[in-house]
Structure 1
Amino acid sequence: MNILAIIVAIIAVILLLTGGFVQSLQFLLWVGIVLLVIAVIVWLVRFISGRGTRV
């Protein structure tokens, strides 16, 4: 019975850490999407205004 409680506690800790990792990845995914949208908007504004960087 004591070993079963230890196994359940270890599984609970692993699931807790995995859940936190997944939530942080979801947050970083949204941050990446927002940064991508901002970069596209800035690129479009520069392209439309004709201030593109030409070498």
Structure 2
Amino acid sequence: MSDKTKTLIKDMIAFAILLIFMFFVMKGVPALVGGATDAEGNPLTISTPTITCVQT
């Protein structure tokens, strides 16, 4: 791989980590408290057990 490709991959990984971090900062706490959803209204993975408990 060229250096340009390596740099691009590193940037993409760094960006993905940043997005995940932001996601958990904004959504992680409400998800743990009780069934937060993302922008599309899908249950967050971290809150699936909470949602199941609430529904049953």
How many residues were matched structurally?
Answer: 38
Gaps of 5+ in 2: 37-50
Moved over 3 A (4+): none
TM-score, normalised via structure 1 length: 0.51
* Greater helix fraction, Structure 1 or Structure 2: 1
Q: Equivalent residue of 2:35, what SS?
A: coil
Gaps of 5+ in 1: 1-16
Q: CA RMSD in A?
A: 2.2
Structure with higher Rg: it is: 1
Identity of aligned residues (%): 11
Give the Cα–Cα distance (whole angstroms) in 2 for the partners of residues 44 and 36 of structure 1: 10
Which position in structure 2 is the counterpart of 1:22? 6
